[in-house]
Amino acid sequence: MKRQYLAKKIIQSLVTIFFVLVFNYILFRVMPGNPLAMIMRNPRASQEAIERTRELFGLNQSWVVQFWIYLKHLFTGDLGISFLYRQPVTEIIVARIIPTVLMVGLAQILAIIVGVFLGVISAWKRGSRVDVAALGFSLVTYSMPTFWLGIILIFVFSVSLRWFPTSGMLTPGQSFSSTFAMVRDAARHLVLPVLTLSLVLIGEYTLTMRNTLLDVLTEDYMTTAKAKGFDDNYLIKKHALPNAMLPMITLIAINLGLVIGGTIQVETIFSWPGLGRLMFDALKARDYPLLQGIFLLITLSVIVANLIADVTYGYFDPRVRE
């Protein structure tokens, strides 16, 4: 039974991936605008030069042939050459993955820990001052515009207090005496973007956690368990949380899947060299190969994260397996 469930989920994911491939491919080609004009950017280009470029990027072939070539190259890890940067797409994307995952990943982890913690407390102490404070905090940060929050944090921590640098991932052009020095420099640069992003994310986790836990807490079996004389800590850990965690798993999985896509806003405020900004630049320049590469990466990670969520669900909730 379980193996079948797993196989079904994997096949579903593969089918989704294929449709995404086709969709991505078509999407960028029905967008208005001629990519050649963007590639050449040379009003003086001769007809031969134009032809050469068309050939180079495969634009002289029909859509179908181009799609076939695209699929073939995809399986060898070749995502093509970026129109904008004239470099292999894979190289460009790989260079941006580490900064993105580092920043967004850390922020997500921080937000999940704090969010779940706040959610549990406020559900357990519903109506108390702690609950009101946690709820207020979550709602305020949740609804705060990211850009504004980031600027405020820069103003407080960089401009007034001068504790952290305003932007970038490393002090630009600095040569470091040791790896330790470099890690320290990166860590200093990480604090504000991670803080900004996690503040914005905490609310979502807190509110979801609180609501689902509240639902569970009003279930009859909780009253029964309480009547049996279990202590509160045991009640929450063994009876309430396992059930309340189910929606959280989905939420966490989807959000972790989106980690790879970066966040355009935070990356823009702090000039972080992440994938979100790369995607935005690629979109502006109509850089099909690069866009396709990034979209593919993001969809893959979301699909994989969903697959993991499904499988974990099956593990946590026997009902799903049947």
Partner 1 sequence: MKRKWKVSMVMILVLSMMMLSASATDAGASPQTMRIGVTVEVDSLSPFISYSQIGFEVFQLIYDSLVMLDENLETVPGLARDWEISDDELEWTFQLRDDVQWHDGVPFTSADVKFTYELLLENELGMYSGYLGGITEILAPDATTVVIRTEQPKANMLMNACPILPAHIWSEVTPDEYDTWPNSSPVGTGPFKFQEFRPGEYLKLVASDNTFHGRPGIDELIFVLYANTDTMAQSVVLGEIDAATNFSPSQLDTLDNNATIDAIAAVVMGFTQLSFNSWDDPSSTAHPLLQEFPVRHAIEYSIDKQRILDMVYSGQGSVGTTLVPPEGFYHYEPSESELRVYDVLRANQVLEEAGYMDLNGDGIREASDGTPLDFLLTLRADNADEVQAGQMIAGMVAEAGIKFNIETVDDGALIDKIYAGDFDMFIWGWGADLDPTTILNVMTTTQIGSMSDSNYSNKTYDRLFLEQQTIMDPDERREMVWEMQRILYEEAPYIILFYDNSLQAVNTSRWTGWTRIPEEGGYFFNLTNYNYLHVQPVAGVVDAAPDAGGGIGFAGMIIGGLIVAGVASFLMFRRRK
- Smallest distance from partner 1 to CB 122, Å: 12
42-101: contacts with partner 1 (CB under 8 A): 42-46, 49, 52-53, 56, 81, 84-87, 92, 95-96
155-194: contacts with partner 1 (CB under 8 A): 155, 157-159, 161-177, 180-181, 183-184, 187-188, 191
Cβ proximity to partner 1: between 43 and 318 the closer is 43
- Smallest distance from partner 1 to CB 92, Å: 7
Q: Determine the length of the chain.
A: 322
Cβ proximity to partner 1: between 134 and 302 the closer is 134
- Smallest distance from partner 1 to CB 217, Å: 16
Q: Which helix H or strand E contains 120, and what residues bound it?
A: helix 89-124
270-299: contacts with partner 1 (CB under 8 A): 270-274, 277-278, 284, 286
Span of 8-16, 36-44, 242-250, 305-313 interacting with partner 1 by CB under 8 A = 36-44
Residue with token string 């600027």:
151
- Smallest distance from partner 1 to CB 87, Å: 6
Phi, psi of 171 (to 5 degrees): -60, 120
Cβ proximity to partner 1: between 243 and 306 the closer is 243
- Smallest distance from partner 1 to CB 169, Å: 7
108-137: contacts with partner 1 (CB under 8 A): 113-114, 117, 121
Is the CB of residue 292 less than 8 Å from the CB of residue 90?
no
- Smallest distance from partner 1 to CB 55, Å: 9
Rounded distance between C-alpha atoms, residue 106 and residue 99, angstroms: 11
Rounded distance between C-alpha atoms, residue 202 and residue 116, angstroms: 8
- Smallest distance from partner 1 to CB 237, Å: 8
DSSP characters over 254-306: HHHHHGGG--HHHHHHTT---HHHHHHHHHHTT-HHHHHHHHHHHHHHHHHHH
Site size toward partner 1, by CB under 8 A: 74
Binding residue for partner 1 (CB under 8 A) from 2, 8, 41, 321? Answer: 41
214-273: contacts with partner 1 (CB under 8 A): 231-233, 237, 267-273
Cβ proximity to partner 1: between 56 and 254 the closer is 56
Cβ proximity to partner 1: between 127 and 172 the closer is 172
- Smallest distance from partner 1 to CB 63, Å: 18
Is the CB of residue 93 less than 8 Å from the CB of residue 275?
yes
Q: What angle do CA 296, 4, 321 make, to 5 degrees?
A: 95
Both tokens of 144, joined, read 């705060």
Both tokens of 159, joined, read 């401009």
Cβ proximity to partner 1: between 115 and 314 the closer is 115
